[in-house]
Amino acid sequence: MVEDDFPKLSDYCFSVDVRGLMYAMKDLGDKGRWPKKDNKTGWKDKSKWCAFHDDFGHTTEDCIALRKEIAYLLSKVHLKDLLGKKKSIAQDGTNIPERAASPPKDDGIISFISGGSDI
């Protein structure tokens, strides 16, 4: 399948936002498949955070791996209860997440330039 074969998260009309979707996936336990932590030390765009990968580089909404996983979980009849009309937290009142998965602070990042010309 091509990346465009998987609908964007906004196309599903989930009753929760991306944060609520991530909590629902964690509640599935071992039914959900989570990506392994990427230990590459290359440059990553620090302005974009993916809660599914728990890493920088792209946004959660644009995450192709998450789109594939959502399609897989829906095909296995998981997360079906999240499809439908959106509820506000005031209407629901239950399952209010304590905190969202957010990017870590940039503590300890040191940027420097080494070398250069002898002119």
Integer angstrom CA distances of residue 93 from 85, 87, 96: 16, 10, 7
pLDDT tens digits, residue range 96-107? Answer: 555 556 666 666
Q: 83: closest CA among 2, 6, 4, 20?
A: 20
pLDDT at 113 over 80: no
What does the pLDDT read at residue 73?
A: 87
pLDDT tens digits, residue range 71-98? Answer: 888 888 888 777 765 544 444 555 555 5
Q: Give residue for tokens 């932590």.
A: 37
Determine the average pLDDT of the residues in 19-38.
83
What does the pLDDT read at residue 6?
A: 83
Torsion of CA 86, 64, 100, 14, to 10 degrees: 10
Q: What is the pTM of this model?
A: 0.61
Angle (deg, nearest 10), helices 64-75 and 18-27: 50
Q: Please report, for the chain, the start and end positions of each structural domain, with discontinuous segments joined by +.
A: 3-32+44-86
